[in-house]
Structure 1
Amino acid sequence: MSFVTDNASEFRDALPDGGVLLALDVGTKTVGTATCDAGWRFATPDKVLPRGKFTVDRAKLTELIAARRVEGIVVGLPLNMDGSAGPRCQASRAYARNLADIGLPILLWDERLSTASADAAMIDQRLSRAKRAQKIDAQAAAVILQSALDRLTGSAF
């Protein structure tokens, strides 16, 4: 079943047996990816893909989905700090709608402060600025996915 929603309950109901999820942190130049285990416990950073034409992006994502046996997709929604939607938010919604023909449920998830949180975690790990720059988008995708997993499983505080 394919659909795009920002309702976590609706997304969870579409996947009653869990399954691997793929998170996307869609930027203007790259797409950070992260996946989780089928039991929805842990998000793990994956690849940072260069953004290109959407058909090229979709082909790369379809390959990743098949390789990881992904059952659902979580797309970061870059809301403004006041909760309003700006141009980047609309671009992420459009990206998710364009992915809908892949045939998987898609959850749009608030990604406010995900990059700052990912950067702070990598600083704590004492990664160099250069290493952080290479990995930040995948790390942010993992933060987005972990936040969604916490809500989907009732672990959010």
Structure 2
Amino acid sequence: MGLDLGEKTIGVATSDATRLIASPLELIRKSKFTLEAEQLFKLMAHRKVSGLIIGLPSNMDGTEGPRAQSCRAFARNLLRLRDIPIAFWDERLSTSAVERFLIGELDLTRKRRADVVDRTAAAWILQGALDRIRVAERP
């Protein structure tokens, strides 16, 4: 399962059982961490998810700022509740790429884009990680 941790929402994406294709799934509105974690764990159980890929918003020079530190803290807090595999994926420019796609290819309105951008960014993040895993698994 892929996560795009925004300031107000958490975009959630999943892959098919063969780990080939990532798809946007849901948007979790941020409120209280325990409620967010509960929603996330329910989704994971329902989808039989074995691990998380969390987008890490690094700076363009590769350093980590406050948003990246917040993502790492979110992961640490999840691990305090449940021992699950978590990996981070460099999400630099993922939201920008998704917004360009939603505007240019799909011509979505601003309101409609706001409704789908975080879920789609989560799928973008997860797809990048899945593609990398497939390359690493090749003989």
The alpha carbon displacement at 1:125 in A equals 1.4
Q: 1:129 is matched with which residue?
A: 110
Q: How many pairs were matched up?
A: 134
Are 2:8 and 1:29 aligned? yes
Correspondence for 1:81 among 56, 60, 64: 60
Residue 108, structure 1, aligned to residue 96, structure 2: no
Letter in 2 for 1:40: R
1:103 deviates by 2.4
| Per-residue Cα deviation, 1:46-83 (whole angstroms, up to 9, x for no partner) | 11111111101110001110111101100110000111
Q: How does 1:12-27 map to 2 (within 5 A)?
A: 22-27=1-6
2 CA distance for matches of 1:107 and 1:113? Answer: 18
SS at the partner of 2:39? helix
- Residues in 2 aligned to 1:74 and 1:52: alpha-carbon distance in whole angstroms: 21
TM-score normalised by length of structure 2: 0.92
Q: Is 1:153 the counterpart of 2:128 in the alignment?
A: no
The aligned amino acid for 1:45 is P
One-letter amino acid of the counterpart of residue 125, structure 1: L
The Cα of 1:102 is off from its aligned counterpart by: 2.3
1:75-121 per-position Cα deviation (integer Å, ceiling 9, x unaligned): 11000011100000000001011112322200011000110111122
With the length of structure 1 as denominator, give the TM-score of the two structures.
0.82
Q: Distance in 1 between matches of 2:18 and 2:76?
A: 26
SS at 2:26 equivalent: strand
Runs of 4+ in 1 over 4 A off after TM superposition: none
RMSD: 1.1
Q: Which 5+ residue runs of structure 2 have no aligned equivalent?
A: none
Q: 1:90 aligns with which of 65, 69, 77?
A: 69
Match of 2:100 in 1: 120
1: CA distance, partners of 2:134 / 2:77: 27
